[in-house]
Structure 1
Amino acid sequence: MSASCPTGSDLNSTWLFVQPGLEFILGSHGDQGVNSKMYMNCYTAIYNYCVNKSRHPTPGGGSLSGLGSSGGSDKSGSQAYSSTNSYSLAGAEIYRKLDDYLIQYISSLKKEDQESFLEFYVKKWTRFTIGAGYMNNVFDYMNRYWVQKERSDGRRDVFDVNTLSLLKWKTHLFNANAKKLIEEVLEQITKQRNNEIVDTSLISSAIKSLVFLGIDVQDLKKPNLVVYIKHFENIFLEKTAEYYTKESNQFLEQHNVVDYMKKCEVRLGEEVSRSNNYLEDHTKKYLLETLNKVLIEDHAQIMYNQFLDLLEQYQIGHIQRMYKLLSRIPSTLEPLAKCLEYHIKEVAVKEIEEIKRAAEVEPVGEASSATGTPTPAAPGAAPAGSLLRRKPNPGVNPKTYIHTLLQVYFKFNEVVTSAFNRDPLFIKALDNACRHFINKNSVATPTPKSPCRTPDLLARYSDAFLKATSKESDISDMSTDNLMIIFKFIEDKDSFEEHYRRLLAKRLINSNTKSDELEESIIQRLQEENSLEYTSKMTKMFQDMKASEDLKNNVKEELDQSSTTAGVKDFTPLILAHSMWPFKFSEDYDLKLAPELSQPFQKLEEIYHRKHNGRQLQWLWNHGKSEIKANLSRKGKPPFLFTVSNVQLMILLAFNKKSTYTFKELSELVGVAKHTLESHLLPFTKYKLLDQSPTGSPEVLGLPDTTFTIVEEYKSKKLKVNFVSSIKTEVKQEEEETKKEIDETRRNYLSACIVRIMKARKTIHHNTLVNEVATQALSRFRAKIIDIKKVIDYLIEREYLKRVDNDTYEYVA
């Protein structure tokens, strides 16, 4: 290159001056680059040519005629732009010279024998793109004026020098060698996957070149990945699928599923790292989809088969690993959740069958005679020398039953929490399984048509830890939280409410609650879980208890003012609302009040009727209890304190008048039914407070002439003796009453649902009505279709609705 710039208007001399510099810029002389002086001379020569030609245009001098396509469309290649003005931008001739030079330069690039095509390509590409950037600056004036003017006039086959260089590279080097280049790139990636050492910079540079070559000739600023996707991405994904399909199949032939899952984690981590190093973001999504398909989805069934074994072995870590892999493909989780649900049910069945079998066997001790109130053996302990016998009607202990259910729940709740990250799908599987085995198992429903006993057993479980008389050691692991966990899964919540309310009533009237605050907190939690209506009766029961306390104080004040009440130390009347409490008046308990007790009762009725004129009182003598002092101990010893029922109280008070009565005389004095008197007398004879004559079977006890004599000295080691707990209760009758109450409540609830729906809809199809009623009832119980139909027929009979045709109802009332 000569030291002085050529004449500005001479194209050939300008090009001859510039070309040696371009060769240095593009790297024709190896690592020897262009120096600053040479660079400035090239820039000045191009600048001078463009400026001078623009000032002194020649006919056609500003045109670009006959210029072929430079990698883009040649649609406008034959157009001629001529200047008719006094001033025209120049650049077409030198642009054409540059175009021809780039073609010649790129075509002259040759690979050395010792290097791979990938190495050759990356080396030349790296140097060429650096040179193209510098060359773009050399032709900066032409880019800014002539190229910009041509493109603004609609020419899409004219480009800035850097873009022109890339297009020429793509046309004359890449297109002809693309297949070979990509093959070598993929070969390097395969070697890397096989843990061979490779030069990742070669892979990265080659792939990035595909992105740079994706030029949209219509809009140079618009990102374009056509070259990258067509030549690399599609083939890369296909080869990746082939590689990992083969590897995974071979690995599973020689290793177990757990090892395979660990291998998957490693491979996925490697591919993510690889994608971050040299893949475009566009590919990352499809790469993960491909990996998930061949590594996980294609082998999901093998994982499902292993899942149950991992659950049985409680391998939380491996289960979590399986979940994380399968969660990459959400559709594969559904079968896993079903497997979990199935397994939970199976485990629950085994656990419940085990406690049922244990309950069928009870210890049988040797006969013994003892006086006083018997002390029960420790739960689960069999006396020395005892035998085992199978019960004809097995009964599972409520605590054992509920804790077995809780044990299954807690075990798999931990699995769902730790292994499945509380995924809603697996929470649902756990809930479905719990709802199934809590409501349908061999203890809860011994026969298909049996009502579920879980609500009853849960109510009894609650009663045990809410009673003040329960031993702390027996209830240490019982809690409100346990109650609420099982309650959440019970389908017949109305049945639980009825059983719980009955037991609550007994605790309240017998002053046997551990804590009123604890009782009310449970009712509050039941209300939050269900509804205000659900606990309304129980809430009213507590209100009655507080109102009764005020009434008791009023009675006591008036009795103290009026006269003495000899023999009555404390009198605690309870006034209970008939519709809220689960008690009914029984004619079997038409008790005759002892004369010494009449004054407090008369005063109570007087005060109550003053406050509530027109209300009626019915005494429920079969409920409540009394404490009585009995001076039947040895001389110098303190008196006994007997806990007795109201009937037993009247029996014992009669013995203040004389020491011996016949059964007939006691029956006339007490007034209750014969079988009721027998059941209340039996504890006295059994534990030797009364001597019966003649002795014998319980049938002898109820004979009119059988006599009962109070002992002069009661031989019991305990000063406090409870005779109430030994009274034979009619359990079967109480269960029937409870069932009847539940059935009646359900009929009323279904009636209300139907009427409410009919009021809103006026007319409705049969199936729609049944479905809506069943849905509304789910919060309280699972309504049977036959029961809904019966209630519909009842409402038709009562003229609340009528049939329009066979399948449609109309609201009438």
Structure 2
Amino acid sequence: MSLPAYSDLNSTWNFIQPGLEFILGAQGDQGVTSKMYMHCYTAVYNYCVNKSRKSDAGSSLASSYAPNADNNSYSLAGAEIYSKLETYLTQFIKGLKKEPHESLLEFYVRKWTRFTIGAVYMNNVFDYMNRYWVQKERSDGRRDIYDVNTLSLIKWRNEMFQPNSDVLIKEILDLIEKQRNNMIVDTSLISTAIKSLVFLSIDANDLKKPNLVIYVNSFEKPFLKATEEYYSRESSKFLAEHNVVDYMKKCEARLSQEISRSNNYLEEHTKNPLLDTLNNALIKNHAQEMYDQFLILLEQNQIEHIQRMYKLLYKVPDTLVHLADTLEEYIKREAGKTLEEIKVQAESQAATAASTEGTPGVNGAPTRSRRSAGSGVAIDYKTYINTLIAIYNQFNDVVIKAFSKDTRFIRSLDNACRHFVNKNPIATPTTRSNCKTPELLAKYADGFLKSTSKEADILDMNADNLMIVFKFINDKDAFEEHYRRSLAKRLINGTCKSDELEESIIHRLQEENSIEYTSKMTKMFSDMKASEDLKADVRNHVGENLVKEFNPLILAQSMWPFKYLDDYNLNVPSELQAPFEKVIEIYGSKHSGRQLKWLWNHGRAELKANLSRKGKPPFLFTVSNVQLMILIAFNKKNSYTFKELHGIVGTSRNIFEAHLLPFTKYKLMDQSPPSSGPNAGFNDDTVLTIVEEYKSKKLKVNFISNIKTNEPKQEEDEANKEIDEARKNFLSACIVRIMKSRKVCKHNDLINEVMPQTLSRFRAKPLDVKRVIDQLIEKKYIKRIEDNCYEYMT
């Protein structure tokens, strides 16, 4: 076939049209030959090259494509053949017919696949026109001119897709629904049809710019709507026939299937909206049913199912807020029940013990039973703290395993723990009670830190448990006071299990709070080490006479929780005066102007008593300082009246009686006349005689543990008073510091600034702050001015 004349448009078009038929598949499966392909390309090339010369004005059609063309100027040819191609493509696409047995989707995919392949080849046939005429027209601002491949897609969109879009999209969605219903479908139809919409989304202004307008409006929006409707129906029906656990498993399977399908035929643009749609239909809309099941799963400790619920709800973050709140309230409720049971059990045991106790007191057993079963019943500190730890560990495991350490649930656990540690039937039996947890925690620490504790009793007590509970207590200053008091007793009595262990706990308390928080405890250790040097100096000067070992401790009054008591003013016997006087002399020489006060109510002594049977070793008595002075008096004679012995020893009468009573109770001394009852006191004329032979199966006898005084109650009151005073001072310092900086401050602003500053030590109440403000006004640190404001007084 010979090539047409280059100047004849009709001849050129008639020459290339049969080739285009083969290229686009109009002749069935018979493709274009290489020879025919080259002839078509050459014909288009010849026409465009030879027409692009100086010539007379173009045709009316050419003028319409190049309205500013100059009759005598050089112009690029292509407008006429471009117009012919447009017309041809429109007719070609409209002439496509589907087979009787085909669905529209099958027809569309079959023809689209063949057409797009041909469009690529056809684009190459018109390559010269694309590179010159099309490019020039577009650079001149013509946005209705496209390269041949793009023109083919636009014609397909206008003539094939848009007239049939509703039916086509419906068939795609129907096929997707069949696949969701586990029916076998040809997924290539879905994939090819959807991808065609992406190719058809063309931006006329910028052909290279990605554009999904056809894909989004024609497919994505209906697809997401159909998806939501489908899964809303399915989920409601499934939940009506199955339990929540089975539903959660179904959700997991459905989400996995949809993600897999989306990877096969959906654009990236649709994947996130699809997940949002699925999450709303499957999870958010049924979150309440999961919430209702959550409490049941918690009670049954179904960690696996709770984890499954968490992972589903995690996909809709807003739904986790309620789940975390539910967990927090559940922990509070369960902790309250557990601690209430412990309290009731303790009250029951106390009542039983009181009713079956030996000899009744003055008021009889029933009265004592009622008192024991009341709200003031003593709870074993070990049981209490271990219960708090058990509750924490139980739900901490849930947070770790089921909620993957999600910060929301860690926060819920912390909030719940902070609540039940500070407010529970044992810690705060009444609304006005001070929290007992800090005091019980300090006793717990004292239990496993004392060397005198039995290993079996402290097997499950450790520093880690101490720090867990410490983290949650509000009144950390109360714990510091009680812990410091128990630490002081361990230090002066030499009952610390390990100095390293003591210091490690202080270090951990310091890390959790501040250096200031543990400053007094640290100074106590410094005092103990300084006392060792003093002890050595005293031993070198005094030697060993009656006193074999003397351990004086110099304690800073502001750091140690001990107070000098006039009731304990002892008379030191002459045989003991030398070491005491030497302590005063040596310490005074090193620290001029400091005053020493002896704390006779603290400390202890060990003495040998040659009161055993002949040939047996002497007894070793552990006694208080008062008891020491009493027994030393019997070195001079065997009998004294109560009045004589009291005059020798000193102290107040009630203190003297309390320390003397264990000697008569356990037959170390004979009393004449004998006591009329266990609670009977002594008369001034009562004669007390030391026994010649003490009958005890043990060689080591401790008389201190049987001393009954009001010291525990006084110590508790003193500790509470110290805590209150320290809080007032802390609040005063905060207020003065704020007012000094602000000069003038409104009442509410001052309260709001003070409250957060107290959280590291205690939870201040607005009423407490107001009382301190009133005290500072009285002391003229600040003054009240108008508009409910305060002014700092310089």
TM-score (ref. length: structure 1): 0.94
Deviation, structure 1 residue 223: 1.3
User: Counterparts in 2 of 1:302-701, with a 5 A limit?
Assistant: 302-360=289-347, 361-362=349-350, 364=353, 391-392=373-374, 393-560=376-543, 565-693=544-672, 694-698=674-678, 700-701=680-681
Residue matched to 1:47: 45
- Contact 1:663–1:708 (CA<8 Å) still a contact in 2? yes
Rounded to whole Å, the distance in 1 between the matches of 2:664 and 2:72 is 137
Secondary structure, counterpart of 2:210 in structure 1: coil
The correspondence for 1:788, drawn from 732, 747, 769, is 769
The alignment status of 1:292 with 2:279, answered yes or no, reads yes
- Contact 1:248–1:295 (CA<8 Å) still a contact in 2? yes
- Contact 1:62–1:89 (CA<8 Å) still a contact in 2? no
The change in CA–CA distance for 1:125 and 1:367 in structure 2 (over 3 A counts) is closer
Q: Deviations over 1:695-753 (max 9, x none)?
A: 23255442112222222222222211111122114222111111111111111000000
The correspondence for 1:213, drawn from 200, 207, 210, is 200
- Contact 1:61–1:83 (CA<8 Å) still a contact in 2? no
- Contact 2:655–2:709 (CA<8 Å) still a contact in 1? no
Letter in 1 for 2:551: T
Rounded to whole Å, the distance in 1 between the matches of 2:498 and 2:720 is 29
The change in CA–CA distance for 1:443 and 1:696 in structure 2 (over 3 A counts) is same
Deviation, structure 1 residue 297: 0.9
The correspondence for 1:713, drawn from 672, 693, 710, is 693
Identity of aligned residues (%): 66
- Contact 1:627–1:641 (CA<8 Å) still a contact in 2? yes
The correspondence for 1:807, drawn from 781, 788, 792, is 788
The change in CA–CA distance for 1:717 and 1:367 in structure 2 (over 3 A counts) is farther
Secondary structure, counterpart of 2:706 in structure 1: coil
Letter in 1 for 2:47: Y
Q: Deviations over 1:140-191 (max 9, x none)?
A: 0000001101111111111100000001101111111000100000000000
The alignment status of 1:124 with 2:111, answered yes or no, reads yes
Rounded to whole Å, the distance in 2 between the matches of 1:500 and 1:729 is 22
Please, which moves more after superposition, 192-201 or 636-645? Answer: 636-645
Letter in 2 for 1:618: K
User: Counterparts in 2 of 1:727-746, with a 5 A limit?
Assistant: 727-730=707-710, 731-746=712-727
Rounded to whole Å, the distance in 1 between the matches of 2:576 and 2:524 is 26
Rounded to whole Å, the distance in 1 between the matches of 2:54 and 2:755 is 95
Deviation, structure 1 residue 80: 2.9
Letter in 2 for 1:727: I
Letter in 2 for 1:22: L
Q: Deviations over 1:601-654 (max 9, x none)?
A: 111100000001111000000000011111122222221111111011111111
Rounded to whole Å, the distance in 1 between the matches of 2:471 and 2:603 is 33
Letter in 2 for 1:160: D
Residue matched to 2:261: 274
Deviation, structure 1 residue 62: 10
Rounded to whole Å, the distance in 1 between the matches of 2:713 and 2:357 is 28
Rounded to whole Å, the distance in 2 between the matches of 1:700 and 1:237 is 92
The correspondence for 1:252, drawn from 239, 242, 245, is 239
The alignment status of 1:187 with 2:168, answered yes or no, reads no
Rounded to whole Å, the distance in 2 between the matches of 1:207 and 1:485 is 58
Secondary structure, counterpart of 1:571 in structure 2: coil
Rounded to whole Å, the distance in 2 between the matches of 1:638 and 1:62 is 140
Deviation, structure 1 residue 459: 0.2
Letter in 2 for 1:447: T
Q: Tell me, which stretches of 5 or more residues in structure 1 are unaligned?
A: 67-76, 370-386
Letter in 1 for 2:243: N
Residue matched to 1:16: 14
User: Counterparts in 2 of 1:223-242, with a 5 A limit?
Assistant: 223-242=210-229
Rounded to whole Å, the distance in 1 between the matches of 2:232 and 2:583 is 89
Rounded to whole Å, the distance in 1 between the matches of 2:780 and 2:68 is 97
Rounded to whole Å, the distance in 2 between the matches of 1:810 and 1:566 is 67
Letter in 2 for 1:810: E
Residue matched to 1:752: 733
Q: Deviations over 1:59-87 (max 9, x none)?
A: 21696345xxxxxxxxxx6x635344453
- Contact 1:494–1:742 (CA<8 Å) still a contact in 2? yes
Please, which moves more after superposition, 782-791 or 494-503? Answer: 782-791
Deviation, structure 1 residue 569: 0.6
The alignment status of 1:149 with 2:149, answered yes or no, reads no
Rounded to whole Å, the distance in 2 between the matches of 1:742 and 1:389 is 28
Rounded to whole Å, the distance in 1 between the matches of 2:60 and 2:579 is 128
Q: Deviations over 1:78-118 (max 9, x none)?
A: x6353444532111111111111111110110010111111
Residue matched to 1:375: none
Letter in 2 for 1:242: E
Residue matched to 1:761: 742
Rounded to whole Å, the distance in 1 between the matches of 2:676 and 2:664 is 11
Deviation, structure 1 residue 691: 2.0
Rounded to whole Å, the distance in 1 between the matches of 2:445 and 2:357 is 34
Residue matched to 2:752: 771
Rounded to whole Å, the distance in 2 between the matches of 1:151 and 1:267 is 49
- Contact 1:537–1:580 (CA<8 Å) still a contact in 2? yes
What is the aligned length?
779
Residue matched to 2:79: 92
Deviation, structure 1 residue 784: 1.6
Rounded to whole Å, the distance in 2 between the matches of 1:364 and 1:95 is 110
TM-score (ref. length: structure 2): 0.96
- Contact 1:498–1:738 (CA<8 Å) still a contact in 2? yes
The alignment status of 1:171 with 2:158, answered yes or no, reads yes
Rounded to whole Å, the distance in 1 between the matches of 2:75 and 2:31 is 35
The change in CA–CA distance for 1:389 and 1:534 in structure 2 (over 3 A counts) is closer
Please, which moves more after superposition, 645-654 or 685-694? Answer: 685-694
- Contact 1:61–1:90 (CA<8 Å) still a contact in 2? no
Rounded to whole Å, the distance in 1 between the matches of 2:380 and 2:62 is 101
Where relative contact order (Cα < 8 A, 6+ residues apart) is larger, the structure is 1
Letter in 2 for 1:761: R
Rounded to whole Å, the distance in 1 between the matches of 2:657 and 2:460 is 39
Rounded to whole Å, the distance in 2 between the matches of 1:744 and 1:698 is 39
Secondary structure, counterpart of 1:55 in structure 2: coil
Letter in 1 for 2:731: L
Rounded to whole Å, the distance in 2 between the matches of 1:175 and 1:700 is 111
Rounded to whole Å, the distance in 2 between the matches of 1:644 and 1:740 is 30
Secondary structure, counterpart of 2:701 in structure 1: strand
- Contact 2:56–2:71 (CA<8 Å) still a contact in 1? no
Deviation, structure 1 residue 810: 0.4
Q: Tell me, which stretches of 5 or more residues in structure 2 are unaligned?
A: 360-368
Rounded to whole Å, the distance in 2 between the matches of 1:717 and 1:136 is 116
- Contact 1:60–1:81 (CA<8 Å) still a contact in 2? no
Q: CA RMSD in A?
A: 1.7
Q: Deviations over 1:449-504 (max 9, x none)?
A: 01000000000000000001011111111111111110111001100000000110
Deviation, structure 1 residue 119: 0.6
The change in CA–CA distance for 1:273 and 1:729 in structure 2 (over 3 A counts) is farther
